[in-house]
Amino acid sequence: MLKGLSFRNARRQAGKYLIYWCSLIGSVALIYAFNALIFSDVMQELSSILNNGGSDEFSYMIIIFSFIITFILGWFVSYMMNFILKKRSREISTYMILGVDKKQIVKMLFIENLLLGASALIVGWILGIFVSKVLESIVINMFHGKYSLSPDFSLKAAGMTFLYFCIIYLIAQLKSNKKLVKMKLINLLNYDRYNENVLIHQTKTKSIMFCVSVLCGGMGIFFFSIPSGRLTDVFLGLLLIVFCLIVLFMGFGSIAQNMFEKGMNWKYKKSHLFLYRLLASKINGISIIMGIIATLFTVSIACIGIANSFYSVMNKSVDLQQFDVSIFHPNESYDFSSYEGYLSETKGVKKDYSYTLYTEEKTSFMKVRNNILSKYLKDIGRDLQYKDYTFAENQFDTFMKYSDYNILRNMLGLNPIKMDKNQFIIHCMPYLADAYKNYIGEKYKLTISDKDLSIAGIYIENFSQYGGYGNGQEYIIVIPDYLIDNMKPLYSLYVAITSEPLDSAYFTEFQKKFDTLENLNSGVVVAGNQGFVSKLRYDNKDYISGKYAMQSTGQAIILILPLFYLALIICIIGTVILSIQLLSENNIIIKHYGMLRTLGMIDSEVIKILKKHVCLYFSIPLIPAVIFGGILVSVFSYNMFNISFDAPVFFNIQIPILHAVAITLINFVVIYCIYVFITYVALRKEILHIK
């Protein structure tokens, strides 16, 4: 009999708490998908490329995040089991009064939860297959590889998901069983009437706590955002923000009540009093849960923001390199035909060009650059000197032929620049433009081989100038071809735009094909001359780089996907708890909305009030989370953008910061609104019976 009852109850619970069951399915699908990504051929190949056969950092990162998520989901499932137990306390009490043994009741509940969890696990596995393929396509797209859809089931990923799920459910079930066994019948009968323990009863004390929480929030933001960036300050700031969010709602009801009572004219308008009574009674009963949910939302927003910041850095690193392939040869002009032939055979070449850069071993323009860079490093609080980011091969002013310059502009789709034989051009990164304009003035003359040249213009289009070993280190001086003959060749470059997109695997193959070729962006620097550093480890080698040979791409992806993974799970958990808390009060809400309809209010007006009710309820924990989350994201983005690049690469750093914050909040709010809409539809259908 109890087994049949368990099956019936499990089916009923899945229907009654459908949003919880669907969220379990989504969580299982995400856990499976990320575990499948670890064991996929795509990730194994990329890991070997990124780490040159070394450690599997991405796999370890996913496993670490999976354990964190297992802990969070364990708390979530435990909370929901206790919540369902509270709502079913009278039903279970009836079984006990009828003489059913507690052990049998525990067994019945175990079977119910097992059926609910097993069904979520199976459906989650099926959904996870498709989610895993979406993740694979995202990873491959990041590396501009080719993707082919081939749905398959990973037994290893399924096994890991099953293990995590068993840990989650067993711990939650044991905790729930322990609580039920210890509970007396009288306590169980009244369990559904209990709210969380009210720690503070006096209105004045609540108001003080609210003010203290706001003060702690302000102090937390201050400590988190101070320029020193010490870990102790950051950690203290985060602790104060968490304390603020949890304590905030303990005093929120008192502040709201004071404001409401003072606004005599406002509270009697329209449905204000009705909505206030509904919301106040609910929030006062779950103030700590509201604080925890607001904290979860803040963490979710922060994770999405951090992932977006990493993604922005990754994209910017790629965009700064304009050519698909760039091969560097030091000290002289060079014949790149062997490399060109291999590239043409394997990927095809749309446009390519070989050229040489020159120097007079003077530093007039380099000194201007060094002064601006030194000021920038000081302003952002980095303990570096300009020499730490000036490569030995680029320590002098670098010159380019005018003919080479226009050919390169044509390759990049830029308009040609006109210049006569008595002029020169400066092409630099945006942060140097004003400094060079002030340095040159109106009457400046550049003297080369006893020939005076006037400025023809300063241009700031992206021209592969970041990181050195390209078209100068943040700037290049373009002069007429006839004046270059007396200069010393500095290095030569072969650049190409290919017919087919390249990925990191291709650069590895390219490098292995030629004994004379090394990776320029290996992350290794050596001591150069006159106290400068160099990326050239060998004097007799050529060095390859390109859009997707950047190490930052691989390092960024190690954190981007796991952070989105964590953020999604946390967002789902928080919104489900909010939804379930509201939907569980359907009997009370039916009574209140029934009164409105009894008094003659038409259904369209009732729906308007219901919409306001749902939106206000979901906005209460969202508003502080958006405020604190947005601030955390902006501070982190600012620091991330400054730390990731050794020179200012953004025309205005506020723009990418605002972009990161906006994208983060949009991503979060879209997910949030889905649950708000589902909750509203459920309330309208189940409570008001309006189709």
Query: pLDDT tens for residues 440-455?
Result: 987 788 999 889 999 9
Q: What is the pLDDT of residues 373-401, one digit of tens each?
A: 999 888 887 777 888 888 988 899 999 99
Task: Specify the range with the lowest mean pLDDT, choosing from 186-190, 222-226, 228-232, 501-505.
Answer: 228-232
**pLDDT value of position 468:** 86
Amino acid identity of residue 45, one-letter, is E
The arithmetic mean of pLDDT across residues 419-424, rounded, is 92
Structural contact between residues 200 and 102, judged by C-beta atoms closer than 8 angstroms: no
Note the pLDDT tens digit of each residue in 43-63. 666 665 555 544 456 667 767
Mean pLDDT of 113-124: 86
Nearest of 302, 284, 299 to residue 581 by alpha carbon: 284
The residues facing 476 across adjacent strands are 427
Report the run of H or E that residue 352 belongs to, with start and end.
strand 349-359
Q: HSE-up of 483 (CA within 13 Å, CB side)?
A: 23
Coil, strand or helix at 93: helix
Tens digit of pLDDT for each residue in 76-86? 888 888 888 77
Percent of the chain with pLDDT over 70: 84
Q: Please, are residues 370 and 385 in contact by the beta-carbon 8 Å criterion? A: no
pLDDT at residue 414, rounded to an integer: 93
Side chain identity at 519, as an amino acid letter?
Answer: N
- Determine the angle formed by the axes of helices 603-644 and 654-686, rounding to 10 degrees: 150
**3-class DSSP state for residue 145?**
coil
Is the Cβ–Cβ distance between 672 and 664 less than 8 Å? Answer: no
533 pLDDT tier (thresholds 50, 70, 90):
confident
DSSP state of 197: -
Question: What is the mean predicted confidence (pLDDT) over 629-652?
Answer: 86
Q: What is the pLDDT of residues 619-631, one digit of tens each?
A: 888 988 999 998 8
Three-state secondary structure call for residue 356: strand
Q: What is the pLDDT of residue 404?
A: 95
What is the C-alpha separation between 603 and 596, in angstroms, rounded? 9
Cβ atoms of 210 and 248 closer than 8 Å: yes
Query: 122: which 2 tokens?
Result: 């199976």
Burial status of residue 587 (CB atoms within 10 A of its CB: 0-12, 13-18, 19 or more): exposed
Cα–Cα distance for residue pair 97/118, rounded to 1 Å: 30
Query: Percentage of residues in the chain with pLDDT exceeding 90?
Result: 19
Other CB atoms within a 10 A radius of the CB of residue 196 amount to 12
**CB 559 within 8 Å of CB 65:** no
pLDDT band at 608 (very low <50, low <70, confident <90, very high): confident
Taking the alpha carbons of 36, 39, 42, 44 in that order, is the dihedral positive or negative? positive
Q: Is pLDDT of 201 > 80?
A: no
Which of helix, strand or coil describes residue 89? helix
Q: Is-contact 660 305, C-beta < 8 A? A: yes
Q: Residue 148 above 60 pLDDT? A: no
Specify the higher pLDDT residue, 446 or 523: 446
Beta bridge partners of 492: 329, 356
Q: pLDDT: is 94 or 52 the higher one?
A: 94
CA distances from 613 to 273, 280, 493, 593, 606 (A): 12, 11, 65, 11, 10
3-state secondary structure 538-586: CCCCEEEECCCCCHHHHHHHHHHHHHHHHHHHHHHHHHHHHHHHHHCCH
Arithmetic mean of pLDDT, 115-131: 87
Q: Report the candidate in 589, 639, 635 with the shortest Cα–Cα distance to residue 614.
A: 589
Query: From CA 673, how far away is CA 455, in angstroms rounded?
Result: 56
Q: Is the pLDDT of residue 551 over 50?
A: no
Which among 186-200, 357-371, 573-587 has the top mean pLDDT?
A: 357-371
The gap between the terminal CA atoms of the chain, to the nearest Å, is 37
Mean pLDDT of 426-443: 91
Contact 573, 76 (CB under 8 A): yes
Three-state DSSP class for 669?
helix
> Would you place residue 554 in the very low, low, confident or very high pLDDT band (cuts 50, 70, 90)?
low
Cβ atoms of 165 and 117 within 8 Å: the answer is yes
For residue 289, is pLDDT > 80?
yes
DSSP letter string, 314-337: HHHHHHT--SSEEEEEESS----H
Work out the mean pLDDT of the chain and round it to a whole number. 81
Rounded CA gap, 129 and 594, in Å?
45
How much is the average pLDDT of 664-668? 86
Please give the Cα distance from 109 to 112 (Å, whole number): 5
Q: Is the pLDDT of residue 14 over 60?
A: yes
Give the model's pLDDT for residue 57.
63
Number of H helices, E strands in the chain: 22, 12
In Å, what is the CA distance from 56 to each residue of 552, 555, 557?
16, 12, 13
pLDDT at residue 481, as a whole number = 93
| Residue 535, pLDDT score | 86
Q: Which residue has the tokens 């952070």?
A: 563
Judged by phi (left if over 0) then psi (alpha if -120 to 50, else beta), residue 348 lies in: left
* Mean predicted confidence (pLDDT) in 463-467: 90
pLDDT (mean) for 328-349: 90
More confident: 589 or 144? 589
Handedness of CA 359, 363, 367, 370 (dihedral sign): positive
**Torsion angles phi and psi, residue 206, rounded to 5:** -60, -40
The residue-averaged pLDDT of 160-178 equals: 83
pLDDT tier, 130 (very low <50, low <70, confident <90, very high otherwise): confident
Candidates 310, 303, 302; CA nearest to 656 is 310
What's the CA gap between 199 and 386, in Å, rounded? 56
Structure-block tokens of residue 315 = 């994209």
Whole-number pLDDT of residue 596: 80
Residue 368 burial (CB count, 10 A): 18
Specify the amino acid at residue 554: G
Residue 522 binned pLDDT confidence (cut-offs 50, 70, 90)? low
| Average confidence (pLDDT) over 38-46 | 69
Low-confidence winner among 148-162, 261-275, 615-629 (lowest mean pLDDT): 261-275
The 10 Å CB-count burial string (b at 16+, else e) for 452-462 is ebebbebbbee
